[in-house]
Amino acid sequence: MQNLNTPVFRGHLARLCLLLLLGLLAGCSALRFGYANGDTFLYWWLDGYVDFTDAQKPWVKRDIDQLLAWHRKTQLPDYARLLAGVQQKLASQASADEVLAEYAQIRKRADVAIERALPHLTELALSLEPEQIAHLERKFASNNDSYRKEYLRGSVEDRQRLRFKKVMKQAEYWFGNFSDEQEARIRAASDARPLDNEIWLAERQRRQQEMLKMLKKLRAEQPSREAAQAMLRDYAQASFDNFTYAEHRQFFDGTRQGMAEMIATIINIATPQQREHASQRLQKWIDDSRALAAR
Residue 41 pLDDT: 79
Residue 126 pLDDT: 95
Per mean pLDDT, which range of 105-119, 141-155, 165-179 is the poorest?
105-119
Long-range contacts of 10-15 (CB under 8 A, 24+ apart): 10/207, 10/235, 10/236, 10/239, 10/240, 11/49, 11/207, 11/211, 12/46, 12/49, 12/121, 13/114, 13/117, 13/118, 13/121, 13/232, 13/235, 13/236, 13/239, 14/110, 14/114, 14/236, 14/239, 14/240
Average pLDDT score over residue span 242-263: 95
Average pLDDT score over residue span 227-254: 94
Residue 62 pLDDT: 92
Average pLDDT score over residue span 268-285: 95
Average pLDDT score over residue span 18-38: 45
pLDDT per residue as tens digits for the range 72-128: 899 999 989 999 999 999 989 999 999 999 889 888 888 898 899 999 999 999 999
Average pLDDT score over residue span 9-33: 38
Query: CA 271 → CA 90, 92, 173, distances in Å?
Result: 11, 11, 15
Residue 293 pLDDT: 87
Closest by CA to 49, choosing from 108, 145, 128, 151, is: 128
Comparison of pLDDT for 134 and 71, the residue scoring more: 134
Per mean pLDDT, which range of 35-39, 71-75, 84-88, 180-184 is the poorest?
35-39
Average pLDDT score over residue span 237-251: 93
Task: Please provide the average confidence, as pLDDT, over all residues in the chain.
Answer: 87
Residue 10 pLDDT: 35
Q: Is 50 exceeded by the pLDDT of residue 165? A: yes
pTM for the whole structure: 0.86
Comparison of pLDDT for 295 and 248, the residue scoring more: 248
Residue 1 pLDDT: 40
CA atoms 108, 112, 115, 120: torsion sign: negative
Residue 7 pLDDT: 35
pLDDT band at 68 (very low <50, low <70, confident <90, very high): confident
